[in-house]
Structure 1
């Protein structure tokens, strides 16, 4: 058989065919990949074009970076010069974290503002969540500057991407967030976090934007926040959640606690969104010429509306200088603690609702210092008891004078009744003779009222002190697991109007103490003051109040801080003890009677200005009455 010869041309041809097949397979795969890439680019471009609103307000697309000049040109239709910011690697939804021992903040590239603010050392109490207190968490806050560009566009910083740069200056962390219109043209937010501090330095400035923005129209800063519920009782927390602001060189005010409130103020130097025990504050070195505040109550039903308490909103126009913005400010995210806020020496202690005028002074300069001193050596529950004892002992001389006046009035009561009967038909003469008896017996009818009035500032100051004193938060005593909230001993399967769905024990104890105290003193008070013609019978009124006052205490304080109810319980127990000692061991009725009788033998004391004026008015009234009688005749 003849052996076939292998033709070299056949081998070469076969090889070329194989190479051709391989090339076609590779080319097919490459075309598919190229087609996929092209389709993806077309989809991105299409989404960009569809995402631009009609009014040319800039809205940055999520997680993309534009690098080619054609795409940048398209984005300029929406962003103008700020399309440059979309071309940077930072144009994506990421955050930069800065933290110290007290505070953890996350700042978002998109918008450049704080998207999370966590307090490292405090827990939410709401429904036993055990989570860290979060003042900001993505969905509840917004910080935006809206400005007009030179080419007549309205842009919002919340919609554009900032470029972050984190550095250190000594121990301070410095985060620069820049919204760029060019390499050296930008709007910057600068955050400076210091160690072990709730206060941040914060500044807003622009560079090289005088020809990019319209400097004739102020930029508008919008700061919105929905306040998270953090405490056990939402309604109680909501009662102390408000906007507080400082204006006109140190004046302070609050917006209010209605369902929807709004106010405007000039020369504002700080705005505080107070959430009972925590607060977010924006401060400025250069006063804002004007600020508009609004607040809306988000909690109508405590059983249903359990996440947020109120919606805060502030609008502030920012003035350009030379076509640029420059504002040095501060952020505070932390506890609404008087001692911490007061340490900054920026009048921030006014954020705490300690009362106005003398009530606030008593709390600031006396009660806070005294309680802080006691709390250094005593547990907080015991501290409240000792604090109450000191306050009641300090007020005991006033209690003594009040009871002494009641005892004197009780001694001359029979004589006053005689005068009432004798001059029954002549009210003016009856009043004159009664005043004369008071003067000759050395009895001042106002002496019993003045001590009671002197106790009102202390009473009201303490009513403001306990709900606002941060140190009581999450401090337990006996069955109360939190002295800043109610001390529930039983949960009810239903809700009683004005009372709630639980039973607090300290208000019950305080109500019982008030009942026995009023029973102990009501007899003396009704006996000391004789009934005046045309006036209600004080004896009957006091008998009714014996039952009404404890009932009001029981209902009203069921939702209040257990520390406040503990104070009233101990205070009334101590007052009962003081009154018992005064009545049985200090004030002697026989001695009082002897003193009154001795005063009658003496020359009457010279009338004071007030008594003299009252005497003249009664004499004039009597003369007028007599003239009217003569005219009738």
Structure 2
């Protein structure tokens, strides 16, 4: 910029100010506010041109000329400027708003930290895009690239403890789009109302606007793999169904047949939710993973059509906060359905049984390690009748084993169908159900699997320590390899190792009780090894529960063994064998009848095959 350029700018300013005074003389009351705003907009344009050096053409000895193509294009002056950040803050959130796009630039949750004790920022910077797609004067533009003018923040809204800020995108002094942000004194919701004014002749007039929001979510937890496993886009449609995109791969979904009430860029323990009070349609949602990115979890995008209310505004609100079930439930809109409590019956077990008990225990303000201990004790007490029946059935089978060995020696192993028939006869005479030990265990399996989904989704465990475990929501590595190994990963979790050892010991004693032999004796030792690899990267809280469950099972079996006498069981079996055939028939189960029929058919088939 040389002397002539600055002189030109000064002359433009003088002309504009003079024009303002002349118009003020003709109609003081009507045009005073408009001229003031016009002067401010002009100064902003000059400042933008001076910084960008884009729209000014200067020839030697000539006055500067503003490129008319820039100023005549839709929102032309707003295409140039410098980015400024304005902060809205309450007890829970620190929200930075950018004049570039008028958008939420970053969100910090003040009451939480990342796993390495740094400020917890959900997203920020150039990886976040939020803009309206507009068709103005025959051209397609996105407000994310335009510069807004912020108002001074207001500390009260309607007499309430709130703060408010308006970001204005000006087309002219009387034509503009306002983004009105409002943040209450506490809480995790940020309200946003988009209000177009005087743009009916400029922007294609409809009852809705198209919004595109893209955010790259930053890593917050220790284990990137587990965090990605629980992060994706969630949404709720007009049928009150909450659904989500794939968690394990890139995915996208177009929804044209139903309106959405909200969508969420959900991470493992935190969510970024956009709620439309007037509804939204024509949604296109996507999630993408970059496996080589070690700083960001996933990139998520939503393109939706937002409906206007009766006043012509687009009312919305954001939820930026934790995925704590009761916190999400308090927000309304079924946001708590983002917490993954499992599928089918597992979800109902966790939702209506496990979670209420956990919340009651949490109300005592105990350490969460003690809460998991109490939860395990309660569960074992509830399931103790099934455990007793399972043990008693295995004891009966153990007592019958010598007689089964005699039958096996007489029949031989080369005729398995006949051998099973003889076994079934023995079971029937003795009044023993061979599946009596399996059925109680099978009934317990849904609860065991339900806990597998419950603990990894439990926000309350995040950052909570117990014994040597610094964070119950992630693994407790006792050995780090420095590189990723097949099956184990890059570490060994101490609690997972203890859980595996306890399961191996449990398997050994269980084989002693049941009298298992052959392959069945060794299959039980393979499963814990598989669990070591599968659960090594899972939360220490989950492995701690499984470890406690094994310990209490040992205790239960010890107590039951004191109450169950093998001699009495043997005497009872002998009494059953002496009973008339009719008495034993009444005890035959439907399963036993089907097994006997199947074996008879197999034996007939083998006999027919032998005759041929």
Q: Which residue of 2 aligns with 1:158?
A: 144
Distance between the aligned counterparts of 1:553 and 1:611, measured in 2? 33
For 2:361, which of 344, 364, 374 is the aligned residue?
Answer: 374
Deviation at residue 589 of structure 1 after TM alignment: 1.0
Output one character per residue of 1:93-118: Cα deviation in whole Å (capped at 9) or x when no partner.
22322111011111112211100101
Q: Is the 8 A contact 1:489 1:503 kept in 2?
A: yes
Q: Is the 8 A contact 1:262 1:293 kept in 2?
A: yes
| Cα RMSD after superposing both structures | 3.5
Distance between the aligned counterparts of 1:581 and 1:319, measured in 2? 66
For 1:473, which of 437, 462, 466 is the aligned residue?
Answer: 462
Deviation at residue 178 of structure 1 after TM alignment: 3.2
Distance between the aligned counterparts of 1:111 and 1:407, measured in 2? 73
1:333 aligns with 2:320: yes
1:191 aligns with 2:181: yes
Deviation at residue 313 of structure 1 after TM alignment: 1.4
Deviation at residue 456 of structure 1 after TM alignment: 1.4
Deviation at residue 359 of structure 1 after TM alignment: 1.5
Output one character per residue of 1:450-496: Cα deviation in whole Å (capped at 9) or x when no partner.
11111111111211222221111111122222111222334445443
Deviation at residue 338 of structure 1 after TM alignment: 1.1
Deviation at residue 260 of structure 1 after TM alignment: 1.9
Describe how 1:216-615 pairs up with structure 2 within 5 A. Answer: 219-265=209-255, 266-300=258-292, 305-318=293-306, 326-375=313-362, 376-420=364-408, 421-422=410-411, 428=417, 430-527=419-516, 539-546=518-525, 548-583=526-561, 585-602=562-579, 603-606=583-586, 607-615=588-596
Q: Is the 8 A contact 1:479 1:489 kept in 2?
A: no
Distance between the aligned counterparts of 1:454 and 1:469, measured in 2? 24
Distance between the aligned counterparts of 2:563 and 2:345, measured in 1? 32
Q: Which residue of 1 aligns with 2:22?
A: none
Q: Is the 8 A contact 2:278 2:309 kept in 1?
A: no
Q: Is the 8 A contact 2:411 2:418 kept in 1?
A: no
Distance of aligned partners of 1:42 and 1:516 in 2 relative to their CA distance in 1, 3 Å threshold: closer
Distance between the aligned counterparts of 2:52 and 2:326, measured in 1? 56
Tell me, what secondary structure is at the counterpart of 2:378?
helix
For 2:200, which of 207, 210, 215 is the aligned residue?
Answer: 210
Deviation at residue 249 of structure 1 after TM alignment: 1.6
Distance between the aligned counterparts of 1:608 and 1:394, measured in 2? 26
Q: Which residue of 2 aligns with 1:77?
A: 72
Output one character per residue of 1:54-88: Cα deviation in whole Å (capped at 9) or x when no partner.
xxxxxxxxxxxxxxxx8595434322xx347679x
Distance between the aligned counterparts of 1:42 and 1:143, measured in 2? 22
Distance of aligned partners of 1:152 and 1:407 in 2 relative to their CA distance in 1, 3 Å threshold: same
Q: Which residue of 1 aligns with 2:28?
A: none
Output one character per residue of 1:401-451: Cα deviation in whole Å (capped at 9) or x when no partner.
111111122233344445554386765555444434333322222222211
Deviation at residue 616 of structure 1 after TM alignment: 5.0
Distance of aligned partners of 1:515 and 1:32 in 2 relative to their CA distance in 1, 3 Å threshold: closer
Gaps of 5+ in 1: 1-28, 52-69, 528-537
Distance between the aligned counterparts of 2:332 and 2:486, measured in 1? 43
Distance of aligned partners of 1:381 and 1:424 in 2 relative to their CA distance in 1, 3 Å threshold: closer
Q: Which has the larger radius of gyration?
A: 1
Distance of aligned partners of 1:425 and 1:481 in 2 relative to their CA distance in 1, 3 Å threshold: closer
Q: Which residue of 2 aligns with 1:54?
A: none
Distance between the aligned counterparts of 1:43 and 1:213, measured in 2? 25
Q: TM-score, normalised by structure 2?
A: 0.82
For 2:126, which of 122, 139, 144 is the aligned residue?
Answer: 139
1:48 aligns with 2:66: no
Tell me, what secondary structure is at the counterpart of 2:513?
helix
Q: Is the 8 A contact 1:262 1:294 kept in 2?
A: yes
Q: Is the 8 A contact 1:492 1:502 kept in 2?
A: yes
Describe how 1:51-66 pairs up with structure 2 within 5 A. Answer: none
Distance between the aligned counterparts of 1:350 and 1:335, measured in 2? 13
Distance of aligned partners of 1:377 and 1:36 in 2 relative to their CA distance in 1, 3 Å threshold: closer
More displaced 10-residue stretch of structure 1: 613-622 or 194-203: 613-622
Deviation at residue 355 of structure 1 after TM alignment: 0.9
Deviation at residue 216 of structure 1 after TM alignment: 6.5
Q: How many residues align?
A: 561
Describe how 1:111-126 pairs up with structure 2 within 5 A. Answer: 111-125=101-115
